[in-house]
Structure 1
């Protein structure tokens, strides 16, 4: 009898452990699945892709387009062919296409030029219009931003970001997700962020519910011009209040907060937690700024339209290897060549992107219309719009978060189940910041959503569409 009871209990334990398999489109035990993703990222494949991009000589936006071996045209055709190969290996799971617009009359693009990006879309199973995106930049440059003839290897800036995006597509295309993942190799970054502007405009016009943009720009250098050599840290740049915040929202935010809880900031906190949970020997720095001081990147055009976007990159830059003619002066070697790229480090940051994309795509959609009340009361109340079960069949319930106002990370939380309102007794609204995340049956969570327009992932874009 004891043996029979033990056997029954053992079977029940196994069913409990593997229950997520019955609910998710393509999830083993979450910890195992995420580790499988990180282990699948290949430094060797990333190295090969960076070398191929470097071999095109220059990828300047104004460079050669007819050649099969040199210039931006050859580079983008090769990138598309790689996405096509990946799609063929997953039975056509990627929709691969060029996305372009003719630009002219600009300081860095004076004559009509077709700025062509390459996009691959892996459609979700239940919520295909909710999207998360990883991007890198195709183009390269030397000292003179208008010099489109000289060799410009652009190994780290930004063949590393494109190679990482291709590698993430290779790995994640082996899985199925509830939401959609977009992989983008964007053009025209050095000439004025044009590839990002074109795709961001396209996303808005098509009504994409673009939840997150992970822009990867220089993810392969571990030796800084400051003399520091470090492969254990990375930076996540995230803006505060939205560029397109309305005057009414600005007035309300003055009294309710939200300056450090924009969707981009909470996206950055989310990625930082992914690093803690799944990426060995990597500490990410969330930097409260759109980008480096007075500099910019391809997430900015998405931020400008209200989308949540961040920049992921190395911590210690080497300026002798950025935007430089290939030369040696006074014993100093200049130029962005492949010997300056650490492929294991590029793989580590690629893995961070991959698990972040996977977790968000498997998680339910972030809660919407989160509202908060509790002024001159001993308790704080939150409510939000319940998610539709047809798009979020994986939904288990919601988790409420709060933290002290001077703390950068969420400190306290409470799972409240399938409720869409809750009162936190004896937790005074004046002393904390609050948010809500959606939780899947497998344990994947959405990013935390701060109450009101300041923190909503979709409202700033939806109300303008």
Structure 2
């Protein structure tokens, strides 16, 4: 199979040659419409509900989590009016039983704004999420002022701003803009959606969780960084790491795939595409599921077999998170909106939008991707099948990197479903992604051995 050789990717190291950045004009226009002013207005409105604690008041029209979720839903419905009937908004309602950080059976409501894809054969679903509940120092304190401006009105504002901008456009695949409750009490809201997605056979191709994405100052270190964003991704998939999966885990380790789980591929994709579209952005790949001994709303999706990552600011300020609002020894505590960096949240939102749009416009992933093992050779032959639904790809990229490299380093373009490269599978890692005529790429698929 003849192939075209492309230079190293946009994010290649400085010593390497660089490709020309050619962004999609439509995606760029959407990025330009993301407004820091709108984001700030959303954050301050969420703070105005005094507390959004999961166990707070649900009857008041002005305070508590009930007022907050009703406002979020109404805003999403306002955005949906511009969609020509393609986006509808709903409460995902369920009763969380008593236990752990829930002291009595509690009705919780997630807000889902679902933008229907235009291709009826394309069942892919992309989810962007933030949690709208908040807390103070005592996780069971449902009465105190809990502004939650950065944790996580910032992530909720990202989801809502993307719904506002993207609802006016059409995409072949489906996109869900989500705001969930119960994160601080035990990932309750996201767990319900993830279980629902599995039970209803949603074809979730990627889930992006934005949690604590509004601060640019690092407590203790004094670091100020308004260009870096962390993306957390697991290596060994959660569904493989458990008991009963010993054979799959042994195969993963034996073939060197510990660093190539679907979520790790999504993280690399985010770095490439996010930095393609957003200026002065440095996407930091963090090779762990979440921060040390902590978790987030992407975790239930991983545990249910979906591809998911978490975005969090580079340097956190723990004088803000989970703190009662107060002044102590001359130090201000509490997650107040004046301490958020809205231009930074805008940058994070644009990164999310670029990734979602590029994925939703791209062909679906190639199927049954494999590397042949029928004989000893210093070449590598990969085979795959075209996506079974959605638009046909214009071609495919075969990706290659050295085993010690965190990023894909080379791309080979082919128009068929097989490629033989003059590089040994012993010395390099490979993957395959579909691409359309406009350059929108699917997620890469790591190959399995085939005979």
Question: CA–CA distance in 1 between the matches of 2:188 and 2:364?
Answer: 29
Which residue of structure 1 lines up, in the alignment, with residue 87 of structure 2?
94
| 1:105 Cα offset (Å) | 2.5
Match status 1:382 vs 2:377: no
Alignment partner of 1:154 out of 136, 148, 168: 148
Question: CA–CA distance in 2 between the matches of 1:373 and 1:65?
Answer: 59
Which residue of structure 2 lines up, in the alignment, with residue 359 of structure 1?
358
TM-score scaled to structure 2, two decimals?
0.91
Question: CA–CA distance in 1 between the matches of 2:23 and 2:326?
Answer: 49
CA contact (8 A) 1:363 1:394 kept: no
Question: CA–CA distance in 2 between the matches of 1:87 and 1:394?
Answer: 29
Question: Unmatched 5+ residue regions in structure 1?
Answer: 1-28, 454-465
The structure where helix makes up a greater share of residues is 1
Q: CA RMSD in A?
A: 1.3
Match status 1:163 vs 2:157: yes
SS of 2:201's equivalent in the other structure is coil
Matches for 1:29-428 after TM superposition, within 5 Å: 31-126=24-119, 127-225=121-219, 226-245=221-240, 246-374=245-373, 376-388=376-388, 391-417=389-415, 419-424=416-421, 426-428=422-424
| 1:249 Cα offset (Å) | 1.2
Which residue of structure 2 lines up, in the alignment, with residue 430 of structure 1?
426
SS of 1:145's equivalent in the other structure is coil
Question: CA–CA distance in 2 between the matches of 1:414 and 1:104?
Answer: 52
Question: CA–CA distance in 1 between the matches of 2:90 and 2:205?
Answer: 21
Q: Deviations over 1:97-154 (max 9, x none)?
A: 1112211221100200012100011111124420111000010000000000011000
Match status 1:451 vs 2:447: yes
SS of 1:82's equivalent in the other structure is helix
TM-score scaled to structure 1, two decimals?
0.89
SS of 1:430's equivalent in the other structure is coil
Question: CA–CA distance in 1 between the matches of 2:253 and 2:272?
Answer: 28
Distance 1:352 1:305, change over 3 A: same
Task: Single out whichever of 159-168 and 95-104 deviates more from structure 2.
Answer: 95-104
Which residue of structure 2 lines up, in the alignment, with residue 13 of structure 1?
none
Question: CA–CA distance in 2 between the matches of 1:188 and 1:435?
Answer: 37
Question: CA–CA distance in 2 between the matches of 1:77 and 1:183?
Answer: 16
CA contact (8 A) 1:59 1:71 kept: yes
CA contact (8 A) 2:131 2:180 kept: yes
SS of 2:74's equivalent in the other structure is helix
Question: CA–CA distance in 2 between the matches of 1:207 and 1:287?
Answer: 30
Q: Deviations over 1:170-229 (max 9, x none)?
A: 111121111111111011000000111000001111111101010000111011102111
Question: CA–CA distance in 2 between the matches of 1:186 and 1:258?
Answer: 33
CA contact (8 A) 1:213 1:310 kept: yes
| 1:442 Cα offset (Å) | 1.1
Which residue of structure 1 lines up, in the alignment, with residue 4 of structure 2?
none
SS of 2:24's equivalent in the other structure is helix
CA contact (8 A) 1:394 1:441 kept: no
Counting matched residue pairs gives: 421
SS of 2:419's equivalent in the other structure is strand
Question: Unmatched 5+ residue regions in structure 2?
Answer: 1-21
